[in-house]
């Protein structure tokens, strides 16, 4: 029986990475070698059927372990590497920026060096097919005012340790393409939401706090604006970039759905009122509490996806309000997953206040 082609995915047990792995396995025509160190935000419980499928090979390890990565590349001979592995929470980066430098910058550079060695050893036809896809964020571009959008050519202006570390990683990916000829692609996504997201992020945190009748902490006035993208749409876009993207290029991925943080929280409250009303009948919005703003909190993100739409024929398919409703319902019916990823610890306490 002919061996299926392989993709090496880093960080494939995290929120976005696990969605990408599930989509790849469901396609049925590829093997996924999944390298993840299983930090707090990565968990095999997020891989459900994929972890039991013979086309999915899970390896616990660090992207900075060049020997391990080299062995995986030599054994499985992937035609692509998709790099999700990263520290990703802004509040955590405020408390401990060095961890973000080590994983997002140093780890990415070491991964790129190992990828280059593998790439140089491929046949000419295999080199034409090979791709290194780096999954980044729109936060590298900084903050927008009331008008305008981020383009792929927008100058970088990161304002948090997290976004600074991702910006540095982006620059190294670009440098490895131009200096060593590694066929790299970079994507900049807007805020993702959907099932399996670690509960420290805005949407799952508000869902779980609302369900537990706890305060719903909204930073500042809640006027900060984000463009929301369902994780399924994001991973479909990544597949399109892998298939059709031009090496050396960057592609913005957004949901074309700008919402203030306060409007998102109110929308969650509305769905919760319907799916799990409070015993006294009072609205969940009464749990909203305004708290001190995050240090260096960017006002607004919005991305222009024209390049992805016109060149690669991709468009988001999930409407925000239906996607949000499905997301709320998922968290309300998956208490076992929540308990597993939280490890029984009280992980919902606020972080990122050290600089305040």
Handedness of CA 100, 189, 46, 21 (dihedral sign): negative
Long-range contacts (CB closer than 8 Å, 24 or more residues apart) made by 171-176: 172/105, 172/108, 172/109, 172/112, 173/108, 173/112, 173/132, 173/134, 174/248, 176/112, 176/115, 176/116, 176/132
Q: In terms of Cα–Cα distance, which of 6, 10, 355 is closest to 169?
A: 10
Q: In terms of Cα–Cα distance, which of 284, 256, 253 is closest to 135?
A: 253
Give the residue ranges of DSSP H helices in 152-260: 161-180, 202-211, 231-244
Measure the CA–CA gap between 189 and 135, rounded to whole angstroms. 8
* CB-CB contact of 263 with 201 (8 Å): no
Active site residues: 138-139, 162
The structure tokens listed for 146 are 């009331």
Tell me, rounded to whole angstroms, the distance of Cα 104 from its chain centroid: 13
Q: Assign 304 to helix, strand or coil.
A: coil
Main-chain phi, psi angles of 131, to 5 degrees: -140, 145
């Amino acid at each position: 029986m002919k061996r299926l082609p392989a993709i090496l995915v880093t960080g494939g047990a995290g929120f976005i990475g696990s969605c990408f792995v599930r989509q790849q396995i469901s396609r049925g025509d590829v093997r996924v070698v999944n390298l993840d160190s299983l930090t707090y935000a990565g968990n095999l419980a997020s891989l459900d059927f994929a972890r039991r499928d013979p086309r999915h090979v899970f390896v616990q390890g660090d992207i900075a372990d060049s020997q391990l990565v080299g062995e995986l590349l030599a054994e499985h001979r992937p035609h692509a590497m998709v790099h999700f592995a990263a520290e990703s929470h802004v509040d955590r980066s405020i408390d401990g920026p060095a961890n973000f430098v080590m994983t997002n910058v140093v780890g990415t550079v070491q991964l790129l060096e190992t990828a280059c060695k593998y790439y140089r050893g491929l046949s000419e036809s295999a080199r034409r097919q090979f791709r290194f896809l780096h999954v980044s964020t729109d936060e590298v571009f900084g903050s927008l005012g009331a008008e305008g959008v981020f383009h792929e050519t927008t100058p970088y202006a990161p304002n948090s340790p997290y976004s600074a570390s991702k910006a540095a990683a982006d620059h190294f990916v670009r440098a490895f393409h131009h200096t060593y000829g590694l066929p790299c692609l970079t994507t900049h996504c807007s805020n993702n939401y959907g099932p399996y997201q670690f509960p420290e992020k805005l949407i799952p945190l508000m869902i779980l706090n609302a369900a537990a009748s706890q305060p719903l902490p909204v930073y500042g006035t809640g006027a900060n604006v984000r463009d929301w993208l369902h994780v399924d749409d994001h991973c479909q876009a990544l597949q399109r970039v892998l298939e059709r993207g031009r090496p050396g290029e960057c592609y913005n991925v957004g949901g074309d759905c700008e919402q203030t943080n306060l409007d998102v929280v109110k929308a969650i409250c509305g769905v919760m009122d319907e799916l799990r009303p409070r015993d006294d009948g009072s609205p969940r919005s009464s749990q909203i509490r305004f708290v001190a703003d995050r240090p260096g909190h960017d006002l607004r993100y919005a991305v222009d996806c024209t390049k992805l739409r016109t060149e690669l024929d991709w468009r988001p398919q999930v409407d925000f309000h239906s996607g949000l409703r499905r997301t709320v319902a998922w968290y309300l019916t998956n208490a076992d997953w929540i308990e597993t990823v939280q490890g029984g610890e009280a992980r919902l306490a606020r972080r990122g206040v050290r600089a305040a």
